[in-house]
Amino acid sequence: MNPMTNVKNIAKLGQQELGSDKKSSWHDDYKESAWIFIGGLPYDLTEGDVIAIFSQYGEVVNINLVRDKDTGKQKGYGFLCYEDQRSTILAVDNLNGIKILGRTIRVDHVKDYKAPKISKHIDNETKQLRLEGCAPKI
Protein backbone atom coordinates (compact mmCIF):
# COMPACT_ATOMS: atom_id res chain seq x y z
CA MET A 1 0.00 0.00 0.00
CA ASN A 2 1.18 3.50 -0.78
CA PRO A 3 2.74 5.19 2.30
CA MET A 4 0.54 8.27 1.86
CA THR A 5 -2.54 6.04 1.83
CA ASN A 6 -1.41 4.58 5.15
CA VAL A 7 -0.99 8.07 6.61
CA LYS A 8 -4.49 9.04 5.43
CA ASN A 9 -6.05 5.81 6.76
CA ILE A 10 -4.58 6.38 10.22
CA ALA A 11 -5.81 9.98 10.22
CA LYS A 12 -9.26 8.81 9.06
CA LEU A 13 -9.50 6.41 12.03
CA GLY A 14 -8.90 9.31 14.40
CA GLN A 15 -11.53 11.46 12.69
CA GLN A 16 -14.10 8.65 12.76
CA GLU A 17 -13.48 8.22 16.46
CA LEU A 18 -14.23 11.89 17.15
CA GLY A 19 -17.75 11.54 15.75
CA SER A 20 -18.41 8.16 17.31
CA ASP A 21 -20.31 7.16 20.45
CA LYS A 22 -18.03 4.16 20.99
CA LYS A 23 -16.63 3.80 24.49
CA SER A 24 -13.34 2.30 23.38
CA SER A 25 -10.76 3.56 20.95
CA TRP A 26 -8.98 1.82 18.07
CA HIS A 27 -5.83 2.54 20.09
CA ASP A 28 -7.01 0.01 22.70
CA ASP A 29 -5.93 -2.82 20.39
CA TYR A 30 -2.34 -1.73 21.06
CA LYS A 31 -2.48 -1.11 24.82
CA GLU A 32 0.00 -3.90 25.52
CA SER A 33 2.80 -2.32 23.46
CA ALA A 34 4.73 0.92 23.96
CA TRP A 35 6.38 0.63 20.51
CA ILE A 36 5.58 2.75 17.46
CA PHE A 37 6.63 2.51 13.82
CA ILE A 38 8.01 5.62 12.12
CA GLY A 39 8.27 5.63 8.32
CA GLY A 40 9.23 8.19 5.72
CA LEU A 41 12.02 9.74 7.78
CA PRO A 42 14.60 11.93 6.04
CA TYR A 43 17.74 9.84 5.58
CA ASP A 44 20.08 12.28 7.27
CA LEU A 45 18.29 12.25 10.65
CA THR A 46 20.10 10.58 13.54
CA GLU A 47 18.65 8.70 16.49
CA GLY A 48 19.11 11.85 18.57
CA ASP A 49 17.10 13.91 16.08
CA VAL A 50 14.23 11.43 16.12
CA ILE A 51 14.28 11.24 19.92
CA ALA A 52 14.18 15.06 20.11
CA ILE A 53 11.05 15.12 17.93
CA PHE A 54 9.22 12.26 19.61
CA SER A 55 10.15 13.05 23.23
CA GLN A 56 7.62 15.86 23.27
CA TYR A 57 4.97 13.17 23.88
CA GLY A 58 6.79 11.06 26.46
CA GLU A 59 10.04 9.58 27.69
CA VAL A 60 11.74 7.60 24.92
CA VAL A 61 13.40 4.47 26.28
CA ASN A 62 14.55 2.68 23.12
CA ILE A 63 14.97 3.42 19.43
CA ASN A 64 15.87 1.29 16.45
CA LEU A 65 16.47 3.17 13.21
CA VAL A 66 16.88 0.53 10.54
CA ARG A 67 20.20 0.89 8.72
CA ASP A 68 21.78 -0.67 5.66
CA LYS A 69 24.08 -3.49 6.78
CA ASP A 70 26.85 -2.59 4.34
CA THR A 71 26.88 1.21 4.40
CA GLY A 72 25.36 1.92 7.82
CA LYS A 73 23.09 4.56 6.27
CA GLN A 74 19.62 5.00 7.67
CA LYS A 75 16.83 3.46 5.53
CA GLY A 76 14.15 6.04 6.43
CA TYR A 77 12.16 4.04 8.95
CA GLY A 78 12.47 2.68 12.44
CA PHE A 79 10.85 1.80 15.73
CA LEU A 80 10.66 3.74 18.97
CA CYS A 81 9.60 2.69 22.46
CA TYR A 82 8.11 4.96 25.09
CA GLU A 83 8.31 4.49 28.84
CA ASP A 84 4.51 4.86 29.08
CA GLN A 85 2.23 3.23 26.51
CA ARG A 86 -0.15 6.22 26.60
CA SER A 87 2.56 8.27 24.90
CA THR A 88 2.15 6.11 21.79
CA ILE A 89 -1.42 7.36 21.38
CA LEU A 90 -0.28 10.98 21.54
CA ALA A 91 2.53 10.36 19.06
CA VAL A 92 0.34 8.50 16.56
CA ASP A 93 -2.46 11.08 16.73
CA ASN A 94 -0.21 14.14 16.58
CA LEU A 95 2.81 13.17 14.48
CA ASN A 96 1.31 10.93 11.79
CA GLY A 97 1.28 12.86 8.53
CA ILE A 98 3.51 15.77 9.57
CA LYS A 99 6.36 16.96 7.36
CA ILE A 100 9.95 16.78 8.56
CA LEU A 101 12.52 18.34 6.23
CA GLY A 102 10.03 18.14 3.36
CA ARG A 103 9.09 14.48 3.88
CA THR A 104 5.72 13.31 5.20
CA ILE A 105 6.21 10.77 7.97
CA ARG A 106 3.98 7.89 8.97
CA VAL A 107 3.57 7.03 12.64
CA ASP A 108 1.62 3.94 13.70
CA HIS A 109 1.32 1.51 16.58
CA VAL A 110 3.27 -1.73 16.69
CA LYS A 111 1.49 -4.64 18.34
CA ASP A 112 4.29 -7.21 18.61
CA TYR A 113 7.74 -5.67 18.27
CA LYS A 114 10.58 -8.11 17.76
CA ALA A 115 14.06 -6.79 18.43
CA PRO A 116 16.54 -7.22 15.58
CA LYS A 117 18.87 -10.17 15.68
CA ILE A 118 22.27 -9.28 17.02
CA SER A 119 24.79 -9.48 14.23
CA LYS A 120 28.55 -9.76 14.54
CA HIS A 121 29.00 -6.40 12.83
CA ILE A 122 27.66 -4.23 15.67
CA ASP A 123 29.63 -2.85 18.56
CA ASN A 124 29.08 -3.73 22.23
CA GLU A 125 27.32 -0.44 23.06
CA THR A 126 24.70 -1.04 20.37
CA LYS A 127 24.19 -4.60 21.64
CA GLN A 128 23.59 -3.26 25.18
CA LEU A 129 21.13 -0.63 23.92
CA ARG A 130 19.16 -3.21 21.95
CA LEU A 131 19.00 -5.58 24.91
CA GLU A 132 18.35 -3.12 27.74
CA GLY A 133 17.02 0.04 26.07
CA CYS A 134 18.22 3.50 27.01
CA ALA A 135 15.94 4.21 29.96
CA PRO A 136 17.54 5.14 33.27
CA LYS A 137 17.97 2.26 35.69
CA ILE A 138 15.84 2.44 38.82
Share of the chain above pLDDT 90, in %: 49
Q: Are 30 and 103 in contact (CB under 8 A)?
A: no
Average pLDDT, stretch 114-135? Answer: 70
- Global confidence as pTM: 0.72
C-alpha to C-alpha distance for 2 and 29, rounded to whole angstroms = 23
Q: What is the pLDDT of residues 106-122, one digit of tens each?
A: 999 998 888 777 666 77
Q: What is the pLDDT of residues 54-93, one digit of tens each?
A: 999 999 999 999 988 888 889 999 999 999 999 999 999 9
The answer to the question of residue 109 being in a domain is: yes
Range of the domain at 95: 3-12+31-130
Size of the chain in residues: 138
Give SS3 for 134.
coil
Residue 9 dihedral angles phi and psi, to the nearest 5° = -65, -40
- Into how many domains does the chain fold? 1
C-alpha to C-alpha distance for 58 and 91, rounded to whole angstroms = 9
Amino acid at 7: V
CATH value at residue 8: 3.30.70.330
Average pLDDT, stretch 86-103? Answer: 94
The answer to the question of residue 21 being in a domain is: no
